[in-house]
Amino acid sequence: MTATLHDHPHPNMTHADVTRDVVATLQTPSRGYYLALFTAIGLFLVGAVTFLALLKDGLGLAGYTPPAFWSVYITTFVFWVGIGHAGTLISAILFLFRSPWRTAVYRSTEAMTVFAVMTAGLFPIIHIGRQWIFYWLLPYPNQRWLWPNFKSPLIWDVFAISTYLTVSTTFLVVGLVPDIAAVRDKMTGWRKKLYSTLSIGWTGADSQWRHYSRGYLYLAALATPLVLSVHSVVSWDFAMSIIPGWHGTIFAPYFVAGAIYSGIGMVLTLVIPLRKVLKIEHMITEYHFDNLAKLTLLTGSILFYAYAMEYFVGWYSSNIFEQTTFWRRAFGPSWWSGWTMIICNAFVSQLLWFKKIRTNLTSLFVISIFINIGMWFERYVIITSSLANDFLPFAWGQMNPTWADWGILVGSFGWFGMYFLLFARTFPVVAIQEIKEMIPMPRRKKGAH
Amino acid sequence: MARMMSGVLGAFKYEDAAVDAIKGLKAKGYKDLTVYSAAPNHHIEEALDQPVSWVRAFTLIGGLTGCAAGFGMTLWMSYDWPLMVGGKPIGAIPPYVVLGFELTILYGALSTVAGVIILSAMKSLKGRPFKPEFSDDTIGIFVPCPPDQRGSVRKFLEDVGSDEVSEHGS
């Protein structure tokens, strides 16, 4: 029978099974895990070496071509911030909607969120050039009594991203505490001591649950508008300017939908192999992937509409600069990046109308890779095509990314992957207490309440 | 190590047995129960009938403080070094809404967590026994009582369906 949203996602498990199976994910990892971890560390080192070269020789190593002084680094910044949106959507918004399918996947998506935002946070620092004075972005007293320009969307972004990182980390840590306590009670030796310290005295007493449950609800309520605001603020980095292709009111919802779409794409890329490596296929099932795929279809369709609307507004505006920008996105020198974005995001997502594709993990994994590629290109197209071809054709210049751009991009995947894999090895990637909350405890009197 | 509190600890595999025990103990006048469970449980919450947590006050106060801090910081810093940018007034409210909003969420979230920690710590669990299976698949109920009442409490917990009962304290 087909599972629906209200079916029980874990019908044959007891509370003890949940603890046992999740704690088992923290035992000695497989060779595949180490291979993935060392690959991630290797990629990170590529990024680290590239960054050292940038520190030594400056941003001239990257492929900035006048007039485009935002390129791969800002593209990748927006990409990673976007990835970070699925976690809080699934953990906070679907929590408020009481969607039962979120429980098995929300911990891994929340961890993904924190590490993706940590990764994104590196890019403005890399991009500013003189990285050692990044703290000038913060409002701190200095001898000239200068303050940041709070009318600039770039400063809004500093606050939005910092708040998002802090709140999503808090949300992750708060959710982890009862699970760490459950792991503590199954461990021995030094690991028991470690988890005892990290569980900060949690016993699951009623006096703790009473405040915890309320606090978690309010955190979800606060995180919900936050997740919608953060990518809106990121979109205003562009939309507040008058650059053709950027100055549109559609940008905030367009970016939020794109962020959730890309985030779920990354969730699929990570969770499909992870459930196999950690042997938790019975906990993250076809039912969960079907629902994740439906969310991907929804946000992919919103993107389809946004892309169509962008082109329509460009044409309908009768503004020659807007029209030229969108013409060149489809038929200019970088046409291939424009079409990669449209095919991977607008068209590939439409395959998810078919249930057979939604419930086939191989096809979902392949689609998720297309989503990741498509969403990186979306940001690349928006940023570079608009900046490289603005108002004065004689000043146009085509972007040519160099090894310094690709080195940092590759390094960011290593940095992200490294943290994610270490997390998956150290902490429960499936929320023990929330799954238990969904599985009724045994009762002596059948059906009695 | 904290001195063990005098009382009786019952472990329950069945949820309805634990709920019956809580109701029965409350009816007998035992108010200061400690109920351990691996996940929040609505039936236990109903049986305990506790007032709604005051965490909400921390959230509200934190959020309002954050909102005031966001607008206060931006306006004060703007007037501290008045510089006309983009033809906008020195203290421009619409762009500062973003900062006001972000700090509302930030302060609200952090004070909510502080509230959970402070309020949870207000009831000390020191000296109350705990067993590892309470974070797995068993509900635990600790009933603090003088040594002379332990026998009757123990009998009650066994009658109501506790799987394991133990007496604690001197």
Instruction: Compute the distance between CA of residue A372 and CA of residue A409 in angstroms, rounded to an integer.
Output: 13
Nearest CA in chain A to B42: A437
- Give the number of beta-carbon pairs within 8 Å between A and B: 193
Identify which of B53, B85, B101 has the shortest CB distance to residue A214. B53
CB contact under 8 A, B81 and A223: no
Q: Which residues of B touch A92 (CB under 8 A)?
A: none
Q: Is B35 helix (H, G, I), strand (E, B) or coil?
A: strand
Å between A208 CA and nearest CA of chain B: 5
By Cβ distance, the residue of A146, A201, A210 closest to B81 is A146
Q: B166 - beta bridge partners? A: B9
| Partner-chain contact B113 A15, CB within 8 Å | no
In this prediction, residues A34-55 reach a mean pLDDT of 95
pLDDT at residue A449 above 50? no
pLDDT of residue A184: 92
Instruction: Provide the residue type at B76 as one letter.
Output: W
Instruction: Say how far apart CA A49 and CA A334 lie, in whole Å.
Output: 29
Farthest-apart Cα atoms in chain A, separation: 83
User: What is the reported pLDDT for B84?
Assistant: 86
- Residue A437 predicted with pLDDT over 90: no
CA of A212 vs chain B CAs: smallest distance (Å) = 6
Residue B95 with chain A: CB contacts under 8 Å = 150-151, 156
Q: Is residue B114 less than 8 Å (CB to CB) from chain A?
A: no
Structure tokens at A229: 């605001």
Write down the mean pLDDT value for chain A. 89
Q: pTM for this one?
A: 0.91
pLDDT digits (tens, 9 = 90+) for A86-123: 888 888 888 888 888 888 888 999 999 999 999 999 99
Is CATH 3.30.70 the right assignment for the domain spanning B7-50+128-168?
A: yes
Query: Which residue's structure tokens are 């053709």?
Result: A244
Which value does ipTM take for this structure?
Answer: 0.93
Determine whether A256 is exposed, middle or buried from the number of CB atoms within 10 Å of its CB (0-12, 13-18, 19+). Answer: buried
Residues with Cβ within 8 Å of A211's Cβ and at least 6 positions away in sequence, in order, are: B53, B55, B115, B116, B119, B120
Of the candidates B70, B59, B68, B64, the one whose C-alpha atom is nearest the C-alpha of residue B96 is B70
CA B129 to chain centre: 19
A242-276 pLDDT, tens digit per residue, is 899 998 899 999 999 999 999 999 999 999 998 88
How far, CA to CA in Å, does A412 sit from each of A21, A159, A372, B117, B148?
A: 32, 22, 14, 35, 66
From the list B36, B116, B161, the residue facing A444 with the nearest CB is B161
CATH 3.30.70 intervals, chain B: 7-50+128-168
What is the β-pairing status of strands B139-144 and B164-168? Answer: unpaired
| CA separation for the pair A25, A182 (Å, rounded) | 13
Structure-token pair, residue A71: 């390129």
User: Given this model, what pLDDT does residue A1 score?
Assistant: 35
Query: pLDDT by residue (tens digit) across B82-94?
Result: 888 888 899 899 9
Name chain B contacts of A229, Cβ cutoff 8 Å: 98, 101-102, 105
Instruction: Assess whether pLDDT exceeds 90 at residue A12.
Output: no
- Kindly tell me if the per-residue pLDDT of A4 is higher than 50: no
B170 vs chain A: nearest CA distance in angstroms?
Answer: 23
Nearest chain A residue (CA) to B73: A139
Is A432 within 8 Å of B38 when comparing Cβ atoms? yes
**CA atoms of A33 and A37, how far apart (whole Å):** 6
Q: Identify whether the C-beta of residue A359 lies closer than 8 Å to the C-beta of residue A336.
A: no
Residue A9 clears pLDDT 90, i.e. is over it: no
Q: What is the model's pLDDT at position A442?
A: 85
Identify the CA nearest to B71 among candidates B107, B108, B105, B96. B96
Q: What is the pLDDT of residues A384-432, one digit of tens each?
A: 989 988 888 888 888 888 999 999 999 999 999 999 999 998 999 888 8
In A175-209, which positions are buried (b, 16+ CB within 10 angstroms) versus exposed (e)? bbbbbbbbbbbbbeeeeeeebbebbeebbbbbbbb
- 8 A C-beta contact, residue A396 and residue A402: no
Sheet holding B164-168, edge to edge: B34-36, B139-144, B7-12, B164-168
Q: Which residues pair with B142 in a beta bridge?
A: B9, B34
Beta-bridge partners for B168: B7
Interface residue A215 vs chain B (CB under 8 A): yes
